[in-house]
Structure 1
Amino acid sequence: MPTVHFTANLQRHVACPTTTVEGATVGEVLAAVFDQNPRLRGYVLDEQGAVRKHMNVFVDGQQIRDRVGLGDAVTPASEIYVIQALSGG
């Protein structure tokens, strides 16, 4: 099963420990995580279900391409990282 990791700066706002869930796409995996932790959804996805502008999702070291439909494929061995992108000067 894919493993999902959340950065410490996101964990300051909502409890989101590393978790392992089933899914064949980023969307399926994140849906399983949000089923366990509904409050986390609003931090990661916008109202339309797309990845928020200041969030990034990586699968096996590669940034996902489909930030709207979340259709990027994952494998049972995939490592998924959800990272709050920092901006500023």
Structure 2
Amino acid sequence: MAELHFTPQLRRFTAAPQLHCEAATLSEALAAAFAVNPRLRGYLLDDQGGLRPNVAVFVDGRRSTDLHAALAPSSQVHVLQALSGG
């Protein structure tokens, strides 16, 4: 099963579960997280359903902006919000 991880910084704003899920795509994995906490969707996706510009997703160590990116059963997905400021 793919593993989905959220950074502690994102978990400060809303419950962001670490979970194992059977998902063929990044979109399916995120949908599993949204099923646990629907508020999480607003933090990660814009009104058109795409990733917000301040959200970075890494699938097996490589950044992905494609919600249709394929996941392997052993995929590791890390979701974080980009930080700004100085």
TM-score range, shorter chain: over 0.9
Q: Given the alignment of the two structures, is residue 74 of structure 1 paired with residue 74 of structure 2, yes or no?
A: no
TM (normalized to structure 1)? 0.91
Inter-partner Cα distance in structure 1 for 2:11 and 2:32: 18
**Percent of aligned positions that are identical:** 52
What corresponds to 1:17 in structure 2?
17
The structure 1 segments of at least 4 consecutive aligned residues displaced by more than 2 Å after TM superposition are: none
Return the offset for 1:65: 3.9
Return the offset for 1:33: 1.3
CA-based RMSD of the aligned residues comes to: 1.0
- Structure 1, gaps ≥5 residues long: none
Tell me the secondary structure at the aligned position of residue 38 of structure 1: coil
Return the offset for 1:76: 0.8
Return the offset for 1:60: 0.5
Inter-partner Cα distance in structure 2 for 1:53 and 1:34: 19
Return the offset for 1:17: 2.5
What corresponds to 1:87 in structure 2?
84
Q: Given the alignment of the two structures, is residue 59 of structure 1 paired with residue 50 of structure 2, yes or no?
A: no
Q: Given the alignment of the two structures, is residue 26 of structure 1 paired with residue 26 of structure 2, yes or no?
A: yes
Q: C-alpha offsets along residues 11-52 of structure 1, whole Å, 9 cap, x if unaligned?
A: 000011311112111011111111121111100111111010
What is the aligned length?
Answer: 86
